[in-house]
Structure 1
Amino acid sequence: MAADEGGIRDLSEVTRLASDLRLAVGRVTRRLRQAHAVGDMSLSGVSVLARLAADGPDSPTALAEMERVRPQAMASTLAQLEQRGLVRRSPDAADGRRSIVAVTEEGRAVLAERRSESVRRLAAVLGEFSAAERAALASALPLLDRLAARL
């Protein structure tokens, strides 16, 4: 493999970068997760709420496909969210056998609070970084988004 613009020369360097990136992203995720109370909603629950808030109501089947989980796992996540009043189900107007799930106002509020807490924690730490370090992180965001989309 030829060297590319970033200087990655061979498969072992690409593999090492992949490993280092996985560890760093995992650490950030774990630390943010640790800020939330025991018994708080799961990451999959947060992801489903965020998807419903951003994209609008959808079927459990479609949500399972988009979240890349088995329908049974999605059913469990939705049941927990529904029990807490964070989502509501209604019959699909086009097909009464199916249900459509939508985020409730309480679900939006919980999602906003959770995001605010994580953003506050991140902002506090980023405030300790130099302007150049923050710029380097900002310049990596489009690449991280592209990486997430391709996984």
Structure 2
Amino acid sequence: MDSPRVDDLSTALFSAISLVVRRLRQTAAPGEPSLPERSALARLDRNGPATAADLARAEQISPQAMGITLASLEERGLVERRRDEEDRRRSVTVVTEAGREALRLKRSARAAAIAAGLADGFTDEELRTLAAAAPLIQRLAEKI
């Protein structure tokens, strides 16, 4: 079998991933963190404390937009600001236990939605193919 053309594959992946993201966004419950808020929470949970500027760069948004996002999260007790232990002149944001719980609940809801979809009509071979593709999609996301 010939290798797929990169342009064709990128278009197909973009379309498929966009549809998955749109469907998962539809599972949002009122009052839960928005997508930018979840993204910032997840990054803090994965990578540990960070400055607002570092988060803005990582999320590819303006520092002002990140400031608004963090203020909303802080107001709801999902993150807190602390003095940076390495440079006491600046502050870093850390995810709180309530923030971790909000992430866990949302991950559980999205994972359950995906599991229900996978359980409905995928063959064992298709499930193995998706299992093999998952780390590759993760690696692709990290390179974008």
TM-score (norm 2): 0.90
Residue identity opposite 1:67 in structure 2? E
Matched with 1:70 is 62
C-alpha deviations, 1:40-68, integer Å up to 9, x for none?
32212111111111221111111112222
Q: Which of 41, 46, 49 is matched with 1:54 structurally?
A: 46
Kindly state the Cα deviation for residue 20 of structure 1 after the two structures are TM-superposed: 1.6
Matched with 1:31 is 23
Once the two structures are superposed, the pairs formed by residues 55-134 of structure 1 within 5 Å of their partners are 55-128=47-120, 129-134=122-127
Query: 1:15 & 1:145 partners in 2: Cα distance?
Result: 19
Q: Secondary structure at the match of 2:82?
A: strand
Matched with 1:139 is 132
Contact 2:79 2:93 in 1 (8 A): yes
Residue identity opposite 2:110 in structure 1? S
Change (3 A) 1:14 1:93: closer
Kindly state the Cα deviation for residue 6 of structure 1 after the two structures are TM-superposed: 4.6
Q: Percent identity?
A: 45
Residue 7 in 1 paired to residue 34 in 2? no
What count of residue pairs does the alignment treat as equivalent? Answer: 143
Query: 1:92 & 1:146 partners in 2: Cα distance?
Result: 31
TM-score (norm 1): 0.87
Q: Secondary structure at the match of 1:101?
A: strand
Query: 2:12 & 2:30 partners in 1: Cα distance?
Result: 29
Query: 2:2 & 2:49 partners in 1: Cα distance?
Result: 42
Residue identity opposite 1:118 in structure 2? R
Unmatched 5+ stretches in structure 1: none
Residue identity opposite 1:119 in structure 2? A
Using the TM superposition, name which of 110-119 and 51-60 deviates more: 51-60
